[in-house]
Structure 1
Amino acid sequence: MTVKPDWLRVKAPGRERIGNVKDILRDLSLNTVCEEASCPNIGECFNAGTATFLIMGPACTRACPYCDIDFEKKPKPLDPTEPARLAEAVRRMNLNHVVITSVNRDDLFDGGASQFVACIDAVHSVSPNTTIEVLIPDLCGNWNALELILQAAPEVLNHNTETVPRLYRRVRPQGNYDRTLELLQRTRQLSPSTYTKSGIMVGLGETDAEIRQVMQDLRTVDCDILTIGQYLQPSQKHLQVNEFINPEQFVAWKTFGEEIGFLQIVSSALTRSSYHAEQVRELMERYPRS
């Protein structure tokens, strides 16, 4: 059994701020990926008054063996009140930046794109100065659905690469590495003003050379922002951790990423897709796009 090192031990979160965020989420019947996916940063983010909203869930149509989101329940029909409830949460939490993600909804003809659009429009209506990041599934390669989401004008479109191509069959069996790259490339072509983002988990058996190749591939499709974080096993039924990566390696990847042209790299053991996502507002000021 791989023993968790000291640098992965997270301080217990304070109750007051977390309780306030949870009260809002429960009152509005909203899901967050922070809770559903057992994110280790939930204390830090909730204490900062931020959350990554999980729409169209919590049941997922895929069964990725690394993920803690439920795939055994049958997905429910889309809730037309969800966008308004999400926008109200953004208003109550006074968010400058919001991240909206979803489960995979391969049962829907557009992969849930219409619900993303409704949520983006609702937030724009209630809080026009809030910047929006959407972390989307691959939509089964439905590029018309991708275009619909981009037409709603989120500032950031995030789609996670997750792992290296060699491990896709084991880690992300219903995903496709080339389709992931194509989604990011098409986003850049369809909406040049949108910042593109992706994320990688490490510690699943990949090599340093493979990670660097993925980083190069992402830059080839002009991806702007990258997150790199340590995979943690949610339970005994999920994929085991192959290795806990040393903090110095995360620094080395960050340095390499900056050298090859990423506008922003967040790389550390506890980094997750939406960790410090609000920093994109600073990036937008440094690298504005019309």
Structure 2
Amino acid sequence: MSSRPDWLKVRIPSGENFFEVRRILRSHGLNTICEDAMCPNIAECWGKHRTATFMILGDICTRACAFCAVTSGRPTEYDLMEPARVAGAIAELKLQHAVITSVDRDDLEDGGAMIFAETVRQIRKLDPSVKIELLTPDFQGSLQSLKTVIDAGPDIFSHNIETVRRLYPTVRFKSDYTTSFGLLKAAKAMNPAVYIKTGIMVGLGEEKDEIAGLLQDALEAGVDILTIGQYLRPSRKHAEIKKYYHPEEFAQLRELGRRLGIRWVFSGPLVRSSYHAEDVFGQMIHNGRTDEIK
């Protein structure tokens, strides 16, 4: 691909807030997807909004998705005290909307569901008013693991589809498109009051009709919130970028999702699953519709 277009260029992380957020995270011994996945929005989220997306259950993933910068391999034992440390960092950062994700832990019988649930409990123990968004792996399709997470009472349950069905064998070869959508549908059935969220990347070689099919599948699975962003290649060993979508094309995808009936669609070059998560949720609750964040 040609060089990265101007609309994908971001500023270098700096400033007092950025380094204060990093200090707090380090002091609690925590990982973030912001750093491990090389998120392009880290300067804005840490430096401007003083927020981060916590990554629990270690920093080594049992899968090796072709798009992801997170280290893959054999994880170490998980830390039973991690949920309390996450809660402590959230309190110190004074967050009112916390996003928690994790590496895949296929080595664990429950996929890490118990730690997700305990993290919710520890956060609520310190501050019951915090809104909690969980972005989980697929738990290998385990409905018991899913129930453990949903019963903990997150405000938003999220699991990313990432790409169209055809590309799963090359992009998410250890995952399954049908299993992932089944997880989202089951989560909504377990607790209809929980907002269901998913996210996809574009630029991996998908066709427009395939994206439309994915959006229809999302609607039928009960997805309330959908994010669409540009895939950015972490290194040369990762999947190639086949296309850079123009901001106008992201606007078209947003309109497509809206026409199909998905309640909230956030589509833009730098949109990621947890991008502006607190603002999005707040506007959803108070205004009923907002999908203009780019």
**How does the TM-score come out when normalised to structure 1?**
0.97
Q: What SS does the aligned partner of 1:57 have?
A: coil
Partner of 2:54: 53
Partner of 1:66: 67
Q: What SS does the aligned partner of 1:99 have?
A: strand
Aligned 8 A contact 1:161 1:200 in 2: yes
- Please state if 1:129 is matched with 2:129: yes
- Number of residue pairs the alignment of both structures matches: 287
Partner of 1:210: 210
Partners of 1:147 and 1:285 lie apart in 2 by: 29
Q: What SS does the aligned partner of 1:181 have?
A: helix
Partners of 1:230 and 1:187 lie apart in 2 by: 27
Consecutive unaligned residues in structure 1, runs of 5 or more: none
- Please state if 1:169 is matched with 2:188: no
The Cα RMSD (Å) is: 1.2
Aligned 8 A contact 1:2 1:242 in 2: no
Partner of 2:188: 188
Partners of 2:36 and 2:11 lie apart in 1 by: 20
- 1:52-201 alignment, distance < 5 Å: 52-72=53-73, 74-201=74-201
Deviation, 1:287, is: 5.1
Partner of 1:225: 225
Deviations 1:111-137 (A, max 9, x none): 000000110000010111110000000
Aligned 8 A contact 1:131 1:281 in 2: no
**How does the TM-score come out when normalised to structure 2?**
0.95
Partner of 1:40: 40
Deviations 1:123-180 (A, max 9, x none): 0101111100000000001101100100000000000000000100000001100011
Partners of 1:66 and 1:147 lie apart in 2 by: 28
Deviation, 1:13, is: 3.1
Aligned 8 A contact 1:90 1:127 in 2: no
Deviation, 1:80, is: 1.1
Deviations 1:30-79 (A, max 9, x none): 0000000000000110021110000002000001111000003x211110
Q: Quick one: which amino acid aligns to residue 23 of structure 1?
A: R
Aligned 8 A contact 1:263 1:283 in 2: no
Deviation, 1:105, is: 0.1
Partner of 2:292: none
